[in-house]
Amino acid sequence: MLPPQKLEQLARQLADNLPPGLKAGADDFEHKARTLLQGQLMKLDLVSREEFDRQTAVLAKTRAMVERLEARLNELENK
């Protein structure tokens, strides 16, 4: 999930890029853009960096275990 500061920055950038005639509604637009972005991001199936790193470690451990088991199986089959 994006940190709130990043969402605010993105919403602010969108508001800053509005044509000059629409600048009066920029604050309202920024609020609505932030809400819309946050809502859409919540719908995505995202994980935090910490969870990703944990799962990467679990995968590496599992992969090492599978390799050891395959080597053991090959050794037993060759006997």
User: How buried is 7 (Cβ within 10 angstroms: 0-12 exposed, 13-18 middle, 19+ buried)?
Assistant: middle
Q: Rounded to an integer, what distance in angstroms lies between the CA atom of residue 55 and that of residue 48?
A: 11
Give pLDDT tens digits for 25-71. 766 777 787 888 888 877 888 888 899 999 999 999 999 999 999 99
CB 38 within 8 A of CB 11: no
Q: Mean pLDDT over residues 8-19, rounded?
A: 77
Helix/strand/coil for 44:
coil
- For residue 5, what pLDDT is reported? 79
Half-sphere exposure of 3 (CA within 13 A, CB side): 4
Report field, pTM of the whole predicted structure over 0.85: no
Q: Which residue has the higher pLDDT, 12 or 59?
A: 59
